[in-house]
């Protein structure tokens, strides 16, 4: 019995049979006789290329140039101030433990607060805490809002000035002038002391240079708060990921907050967090 042919040999056999059945090429045909067939093959890729070029030109013609009419942004709301001026109250000291200026009347504003305000499109006017009151109050009439910064001073002239500015802010809002106040860290602590009428209301917490989450209170509206324009995804991540930086030695727990009628009737708690000892403290409040 003869051995079974391999795949390669069968392929060879198939080629051989085709060559045998095909007639040999005519030696009398000239090269010019195959020219029409060659041009037919060349026309096909040429027409395809031309079609692609025309399609590309048509697509590009739909792109709107700056001089052409195109969808525009909504017109600015005349009721809104897109370039507000915010007054930031300076804090005693030089911000560098006296290395830059150890004068007793020195004060500073950390650049981070200025950049924070400017990043939102606002401009900044420094409210020097120990300048003459008439100058300070004149500046207050030139700004559209105030920011109280972080720090350490909880008594003396600084406390008195913060309280005086806070009363001015209340008076402006009561008169119908929308005049926001943002109090951060020490600023929040001072407002807690002023509104509660208790200078010893603050509690100690261990939240120094701590990354944490924010827990939103149930059934609380964030409309009109600092969280109003946060995307939903970011709001969810705030409660699950440690995106917030805490740096506090003092604060107030929700329990003590609710026990003080002056506080709980003035503010509503928006968010809380926990310190390194798992103690809960208020992070954000609003009127």
- What is the residue extent of each domain of the chain? 85-286
Please list the alpha-helical segments (H only) found in the chain.
7-21, 35-60, 111-118, 133-140, 156-174, 186-196, 232-240, 254-259, 261-266
- CA of 221: how far to CAs of 214, 224, 228, 269, in Å? 15, 8, 9, 10
Using DSSP, state whether 60 is helix, strand or coil.
helix
Half-sphere exposure of 174 (CA within 13 A, CB side): 6
Would you name the residues annotated as active-site residues?
A: 185
pLDDT at 171: 97
Phi, psi dihedrals of residue 194, rounded to the nearest 5° = -70, -50
Half-sphere exposure of 74 (CA within 13 A, CB side): 3
Closest listed residue to residue 125, CA positions, set 164, 166, 83: 83
The CB density around residue 275, as the number of other CB atoms within 10 Å, is 19
CATH says 85-286 is which class? alpha beta
pTM of the predicted model as reported, rounded to 2 decimal places: 0.72
pLDDT at 80: 77
Spell out the per-residue pLDDT of the chain, length 287, in tens: 444 433 333 333 333 434 334 444 444 444 444 555 555 555 555 555 555 554 554 444 454 544 545 556 677 788 778 789 999 999 999 999 889 998 999 999 999 999 999 999 999 999 999 999 999 999 999 999 999 999 999 999 999 999 999 999 999 999 999 999 999 999 999 999 999 999 999 999 999 999 999 999 998 999 989 999 899 999 999 999 999 999 999 999 999 999 999 999 999 999 999 999 999 999 999 99
Using DSSP, state whether 227 is helix, strand or coil.
coil
Tell me the per-residue pLDDT of 61-116, one tens digit each, with 9 for 90 and over.
454 544 545 556 677 788 778 789 999 999 999 999 889 998 999 999 999 999 99
């Amino acid at each position: 019995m003869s051995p079974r042919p391999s795949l390669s040999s069968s392929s060879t056999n198939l080629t051989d049979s085709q060559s045998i059945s095909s007639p040999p090429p005519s030696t009398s045909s000239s090269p010019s006789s195959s020219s029409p067939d060659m041009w037919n093959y060349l026309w096909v890729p040429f027409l395809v290329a031309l079609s692609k070029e025309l399609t590309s030109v048509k697509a590009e013609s739909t792109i709107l140039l700056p001089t052409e009419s195109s969808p525009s942004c909504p017109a600015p709301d005349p009721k809104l101030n897109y370039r507000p001026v915010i007054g930031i109250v300076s804090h005693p000291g030089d911000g560098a433990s006296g290395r830059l200026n150890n004068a007793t009347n020195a004060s500073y504003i950390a650049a981070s607060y200025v950049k924070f305000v400017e990043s939102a499109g606002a401009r900044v006017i420094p409210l020097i805490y120990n300048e003459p009151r008439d100058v300070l109050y004149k500046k207050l009439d030139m700004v559209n809002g105030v920011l109280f910064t972080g720090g350490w001073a909880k008594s003396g002239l600084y406390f008195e000035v913060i309280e005086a500015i806070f009363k001015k802010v209340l008076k402006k809002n009561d008169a119908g002038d929308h005049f926001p106040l943002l109090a951060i860290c020490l600023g929040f602590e001072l407002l807690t002391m002023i509104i509660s009428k208790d200078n010893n209301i603050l509690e100690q917490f261990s939240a120094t240079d701590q990354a944490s989450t924010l827990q939103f209170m149930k059934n609380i509206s964030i409309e009109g708060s600092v969280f109003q324009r946060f995307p939903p995804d970011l709001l969810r991540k705030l409660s699950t990921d440690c995106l917030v930086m805490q740096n506090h030695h003092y604060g107030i727990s929700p329990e003590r907050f609710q026990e003080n009628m002056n506080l709980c009737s003035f503010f509503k708690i928006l968010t809380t967090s926990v310190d390194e000892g798992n103690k809960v403290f208020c992070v954000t409040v609003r009127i």
